[in-house]
Structure 1
Amino acid sequence: MKGAATRSTLTTEVTMLLTANWRDWYHFRHQQECFKSGSGFEDYVSTVLSRFHNDFVNPDPSGTLGDGGCDGLAESGTIFYACYGQRPARSAERELAAKIGSDFARGLSQWASFHTWKFVTNAPFGPESLKVLTELQQAHVPESERPLTIRLVKTEDLWVEVVGTLDPVVLNELFPGAPGAANVELADLLPLLDALDTSGIVVETGADVLPVPATKMDFNSLPEASRLEFNAGRLLAPRIDRWYEESSDPGLYDAHGERFRALYREARGVTAVPAEVLERLYVSVAGANFRMDGKRANAAFAVVSYFFDSCHIFETPPNEETIAVSEVPDAVAH
């Protein structure tokens, strides 16, 4: 057997499964940072842009030259960022309009490399500010002497275009402490969920993957939506086979199968509706609200359909009981 992890190691070293609405939690933390004034907001913007661009540089002020109106250059100097954190003042709108004009003028005079100028702010953007911005856009149309793309980036734009696109590992570095999923019954399956890359489910080369037998789905009255989930999830069956094969614990598959059987019986004790039983099994594997995370949902479909097909959950039609045993994958047959 390959693999160094035993079942006990997998159980004790498993990483915490984030709550499925982790994206909402990070979005809330982003909004909190965007409520900051002045340099607090500007520092946050610089931090997230440094995670987003691999060559982002925010120049340090230098004597009388200052920073040249630049709060960051990226993509080999082709994207220029200017940033302004709101500052409580009676003339906030006029101050913002003046800031846009002055930052752009300084940047234009001192930096020849950029073709995109982005102004990032959390300040209310009123008519005076919009007037300045549109005048700059009209002055640098494609037919002008120096064509430029000039864009306003508000806090929600910053989330959609930058922060929300970051890898969860990076998001956790920015905002540590995301809550974990509660009541995940099969904690030692979490490494399997992590191992299933469901961003683009495809049949692996050489894999003989068939749809879940319609007779068993018919016998258990599975609704059409559940059948679609199962047939999509079963495309990952070869990867699950390999995961069990590479585990150094030869009894891990059997242990999970028995646990699935127990969870199925518990769910059937609560409801006889097949879709509701399935939902309880999905939650046992992937946590509550798992459908809010598409990749996790696909992983849950794959794992539950795998144990459905190996006859650990739901009922097998009487005339297929002997056939079902022979269909258990060789890597995990017992």
Structure 2
Amino acid sequence: MLPHQRQYAQAKFRSMVEDSTGNEFEKLFHRLMELSHPSYMPIRTHGNIGDLGGDGLCARCRTLYACYAPDTLRVSEVRDKFLGDLASAMTQRPEQFDAFVFVHNDQRGIHPVVSGLIAQQQQALTSITLEQMGPRKLWYEALELNLGKMEALLQESIPIHEVRYGVGMADIEPLLLHLAETRPQHAPAEEIPLPTPFKADYNGLSIRAQQVLQRARPYIYQVGQYYQGIISHTEQDEVAAGFAAYYRQMRKEYGDQPDEILWQMQRYVLGQEHPRWERADAADVVVTFFFEQCDIFEIPPLDWRPVTSGGEPG
């Protein structure tokens, strides 16, 4: 899949998730999971036994999914849905799953009531893992699809001609604005070395690519400060998961071109339009942060050293 096709798919899928509710959202979720997991089984309600606490079951990964995307969100209904599905599943199909996932379409994140219920029930239930899956994680699932499956998910053909998008990874738009507005205009007098000096060499990044990371390195502390200051404690982990998923996809497509992978990671953040310089610099900081956090690119073995021109380790 070409980069502009993937960005088209992301925008389209995000809109589909946001606009669908009730049965339509559940159908979209089933279609996604059936395309990405061969062992996934949609569960329909039957007679007086209902759905036994789940809307879908992934047999291979032993995960049970419960969908909730109402037209109008009511806290009491969210609570009853979550607790009711969980209790039914634990009673009627306890041997079938190891993880219970509450699936929703709230673009702003999981409702605070549900997050509290998940944390509360996780303490009480040590035999299973409780998770939530919102629009961001749904896209990470879709990200692994090839062009044919992506078109099946969207139920339309993806344009072949190149389309330019000014917004890339919408989830980090506030972070880009924060960095662009607060980054100091003058870099420190002394360069700050990369914390993993062999990682860039191990991945075969060119001197030019390493300079991009080097220039951004003094400012990555601002990314950490940003994530520490926001309310959602899972935000950084979920964004990191997105970077890791996109990196894996880029490595499949450009495995022998590390500079191309780095550039594609920048496009993942920005979109394809040529950005203003402060926005481009902010994107470099974000990519460098996740490079340092080891969410993207490969980690060299502890005893690995680059080979010098004379054929000996440096």
Q: Please, what TM-score do these two structures have when normalized by structure 2?
A: 0.49
Higher RCO structure, 1 or 2 (CA under 8 Å, sep 6+): 1
Per the normalisation by structure 1, the TM-score is 0.46
